[in-house]
Structure formats: C-alpha cells, structure tokens
Structure 1
C-alpha cells in the first residue's frame, strides 16, 4: 500500500494532475515521525472507517483521554479504546485478529485537531489488544489544513455515565431531523476501501449547506481542491461502497450512514456549485444515529477561510 493503486492513478489522470517522475508516492509513507507521534498523543479522539460483517462500510470515532493514542514504534499505533456496543464497527473491532489465524480488521484512520486545523491519515491492519487495538500501519499520510473549521473541546461535566443514556436508532433513510442535521453540517468524515478491502478515512468540510439532501436517501456534496492525491475518489473508482460519520459537536451524538457513492464529472452540473471541481453523490442504504456516543463537547466553529460559498 506504499504507493497509489490504479483507481487513484485513473482519477488523478482524469482530473488532469500528473505527478512528476520520481514522485509516484507523493507524501505517502508507512512510519509515524516523532512530531506526528507527539501530535497523536495530545488528541482525545480519532476517526476510523472499516467494513462490517455484512460488507457495509462505516465511519465512526473512538475517544479517550489524551494519551490513549500512542506510537510504541514507527510502524505501530496503539489505541486505548474500543467502540461501544451500539457502534456500527463494534463487531469488526471486538474480535479483530483474535484466535488462531484470525484476520485483522483493515481500517482507515484520521487524527484531527480542529483547534489547530492539523490532521493526519493512517491506514493499516487492526488487532484486538486487551481493551484496545494495535494497528500495524501500511500508510501514513500528511494532509493540508483546508476546510477544517476551528473548534475547541471540553469533556462532559454532568454526573452519570454516558453509557446509561446511550441509545441507537436504525433506519434505511434519513428522518426530517437528520436531514436538517446534514443541511446544517460543516464537517463530516467519509470512509472508503479499495477493491482489495484496504480502508481509508477522510475529512470533508465546508460552509453549512455544502452537503445537499436531494432526497431521504440521496446526498450530494462538492469535491473541492485539495492535496491532489484522490485517495477517496480513487477508492470509489474501484469500489462504490462508502460510509459517512457526522459528529454532533454540541450534543455528543453521532450520525452514521452507509451506502454507495459515485463521482460526478459533468462540467455543467459542477459549474453550478461554487468552488467545486467535481461532485460526489451518495446513496444511503442504512442509517444509525447514536445518542451520547461521545463524551466530548465542542465550541462553535470558526469557519475556514478556504470554504467556498454555498448555493443554498
């Protein structure tokens, strides 16, 4: 997984981006440098994506006190947390790599610090390790800070266990309230996987309204100029399955969607969306909304100066 697969290369070429000779791998590595290890050690959450036992891709988050993410050696990330039972990836991660010949869970991850607009992506193979995970890293990727809304976090101060009030609601389409959540969203995370199952998780941000709800089962968003690696769109070129995670910054709730996505290249349609270079349409097959999913609460956002205006 050190370089680009043929789906990523195909999208790069269609987008008109050709890497100079000798730069075939761009900024993809498979080790975590010391400065990145220190960054991860300060974070209270990490976003990840993976494929459940039914072959559906989901994105979610794991939380913990700063220090729950550690890098004991450059190729390894330890995560001192597991998802709660209600999480759509709980089954995948609970038994990852367990038993004789047990297969690891192939996951994509993104560590992000909204307060400083820093982020980094890591993809690899997760093994259950006590009450947490050990991830053997295949890809470590630095990303630019564009489209990240600045936020500061603080833990919940109320008494009582978040687990005691946690509930999960499943459906096959968005409720009116969930549609409003998406129309107001300025951030979400998207998980994809290649045709070989190698997973990736990525950040998407913009001004409220950049996510369009076309119907209770169909979303669309603009693909803005980024780092020109096209890891997400490259995976979609080979495998349309995808999952979205929308954090409830103020409430601690989480909205998880799974389905399939496609890239829209039509120039006339793209031109109707300021700043868009392409569009992505996402068809929903399942929805899970979890209350009290996270112990973190976040301040109101300071929007990125890179966010294009929205059409809504």
Structure 2
C-alpha cells in the first residue's frame, strides 16, 4: 500500500469514506511499468505535459513538443523523450530528479500518467524510469485537434510578478483548460508515491475565477470537480502547498507558467476549490509550434 498511496491521498480518501475501495482500485491500476496501451499513446503524441521542481523545490508545469515518435519506450520501465525545456522555461532538468508526466490526446480525451525518475540526460533529451504508471478518466477534457504551424522565433520569456499582467489575466479568465504540478514535501526520485504529479483541470471558459485586492497578489479560484478519487494532486497539496500552473493559448502557442501556494477550500458554496496565490511566473510567447481547433466541450460540464 505504501508504494502506491501516500499520507495526503489516504487522508482525503478517508475523509470522504472511500479509502477501502480506493485502496483496492489503486492497488490494481497503479503499476511500476507501462502497459502496451500507455506506450502506444506516448509514442503517437506531439506534446508531453511535464511537472517538476526547481532548485528552490518550487513546482512548475511545462509542455514539450516534437513530431510523433519523439517519445519512445525502449522497454516497459523506461520512456525516452527527445526534447528538452526551451530557453526561458523555469523548469531545468537534473539527473535523479522526480518528474510527473501526462500524456494527453485531447481529440480522443485519452490521458495517461507516468511518475518517475530522470535517469539519463543529454543535449537531445532525457530518459525517465517508471515509478508509477496509471490511467485517468476522460472527464472534463475539451476535444480539440492539433496541427503544426510555422511560428516566428519565440519571443524572450517575460517575467510575471505576483500580480499578473493584463495579458496573463486575459488568458486565465478565458481558459477552459489548465495543468497543475504538485509534489509531496520530500519528493525525490525512486520513491514510489513520494514524487511529483502533473494533472489536468478543465471547465467551461471562465471556470477559473480571479480575485485581486489592492496591491496584493493575484489569487486564482479553481473548482475541484468530482474525478477518480485518487487525489494525487489534492493529496500533495494537503501535505505541501506549493504548486505550479500552466495555461496554453491554443491559437498563438503562448504559454503562461505560474508558481505559488495552493490550498484546498472545502467551504465554497459551489463545492471544493483550489485557491492558488501567485508568487511569480513566466510568459513565453509563441513557445509551441502547434495550434488547435475550436474545442468540443466535455459532456460532463454544465453551465
């Protein structure tokens, strides 16, 4: 049990009365090797979502891209990625660091997770050894089809302060998708459940509320819709409030990466929410050489 669930995940499952059932479920679906269908998905995708920690142990979420086949599995316990974070990306890779990966195919709403340890790094890419491999349900994913585009050379990264710029606020307020990176307090490589996660959150445009008071930091309010009850992200946040967010402009390829503190709020009138207080961030214009079709919103969303 200790190899698949950590204290924070277990505490939330116990609070909601699902611990015994989820212990059985997670024991069956969380593996230390990738099944064939997970390998197949990684190897056909043009993007990879990545969560990791910087030298100050702050979580960041980012996205890597390449022609399908830029990821391949030499065996079921290793994934080779022929891509690296670009200049200006706040996530820097190091040997033995824990990483959380998310393989997401939005047009089919397929997604798989892989948490592991970086065991090889060179000028072309990196290799991750699997610590945990598991699937996620298709809920709240907006179906959209990617296509490659020729972009001008990406602009230099621009720093975002704790109080977000007008451009950043516009992207956040119009978003229907975001990604969140989180970690246990002592996240390290080869540690089973004690690592880093990156997960998807989706909703109708405007589902992320923004508050700003006086000269204080920007606060984002992210609803926590009912999911698979693994509580990977929320369990991490219960133990360690640091988190990183990624917003993607699906037309321009602009990326907004934020780091800050996140707290789970149970008293919101509309249900649980993650309350994220921005510490700092980076805006990377035209960072992705992809654009996506207009979204087909998840049938699980109402409003």
TM-score, structure 2 length as denominator? Answer: 0.91
Give the Cα separation in 1 of the matches to 2:208 and 2:63.
20
Q: Are the equivalent residues in 2 in contact too, given 1:2–1:138 (CA < 8 A)?
A: no
1:87 alignment partner, one of 76, 89, 101: 89
Q: Are the equivalent residues in 2 in contact too, given 1:243–1:256 (CA < 8 A)?
A: yes
Q: Which residue of 2 aligns with 1:100?
A: none
The answer to whether 1:61 aligns with 2:67 is no
1:132 alignment partner, one of 121, 125, 133: 125
Q: Which residue of 2 aligns with 1:150?
A: 143
Q: CA RMSD in A?
A: 1.5
Q: Which residue of 1 aligns with 2:97?
A: 105
Deviations 1:175-231 (A, max 9, x none): 122112111100000000011211100000000111001125111111001001000
Q: Residues 73 and 262 from structure 1, CA distance in 2 versus in 1: closer, same or farther, beyond 3 angstroms?
A: same
Q: Secondary structure at the match of 2:222?
A: strand
Q: Which residue of 2 aligns with 1:226?
A: 227
Q: Are the equivalent residues in 1 in contact too, given 2:51–2:60 (CA < 8 A)?
A: yes
Give the Cα separation in 2 of the matches to 1:11 and 1:26.
19
Deviations 1:103-124 (A, max 9, x none): x121111000001000001111
The CA deviation at 1:83 is: 1.1
Q: Secondary structure at the match of 1:32?
A: coil
Q: Which residue of 2 aligns with 1:2?
A: 3
The CA deviation at 1:165 is: 3.5
Give the Cα separation in 2 of the matches to 1:236 and 1:186.
22
Give the Cα separation in 2 of the matches to 1:6 and 1:307.
31
Q: Which residue of 2 aligns with 1:253?
A: 254
Task: For 1:6-85, list aligned pairs within 5 A.
Answer: 6-20=7-21, 22-23=24-25, 25=27, 27-85=29-87
The answer to whether 1:174 aligns with 2:164 is yes
Task: For 1:114-125, list aligned pairs within 5 A.
Answer: 114-125=106-117
Q: Which residue of 2 aligns with 1:306?
A: 300
Give the Cα separation in 2 of the matches to 1:43 and 1:2.
29
Give the Cα separation in 1 of the matches to 2:28 and 2:181.
21
The CA deviation at 1:304 is: 0.4
Q: Secondary structure at the match of 2:172?
A: helix
Give the Cα separation in 2 of the matches to 1:185 and 1:7.
28
The CA deviation at 1:305 is: 0.7
Deviations 1:84-128 (A, max 9, x none): 111111xx21xx22xxxxxx1211110000010000011111131
Q: Secondary structure at the match of 1:141?
A: strand
Task: For 1:150-299, list aligned pairs within 5 A.
Answer: 150-157=143-150, 162=152, 164-172=153-161, 173-197=163-187, 198-215=195-212, 217-266=218-267, 269=268, 271=269, 273=270, 276=271, 278-299=272-293
Q: Are the equivalent residues in 2 in contact too, given 1:188–1:244 (CA < 8 A)?
A: yes
Count of residues paired in the alignment: 288
Q: Residues 165 and 130 from structure 1, CA distance in 2 versus in 1: closer, same or farther, beyond 3 angstroms?
A: closer
Q: Secondary structure at the match of 1:250?
A: coil
Give the Cα separation in 2 of the matches to 1:130 and 1:78.
13
Q: Residues 226 and 16 from structure 1, CA distance in 2 versus in 1: closer, same or farther, beyond 3 angstroms?
A: same
Q: Which residue of 2 aligns with 1:101?
A: none
Q: Residues 66 and 207 from structure 1, CA distance in 2 versus in 1: closer, same or farther, beyond 3 angstroms?
A: same
Q: Are the equivalent residues in 2 in contact too, given 1:167–1:292 (CA < 8 A)?
A: no
Q: Are the equivalent residues in 1 in contact too, given 2:106–2:143 (CA < 8 A)?
A: yes
TM-score, structure 1 length as denominator? Answer: 0.89
Unmatched 5+ stretches in structure 1: 98-103
The CA deviation at 1:23 is: 4.1
Q: Secondary structure at the match of 1:280?
A: strand
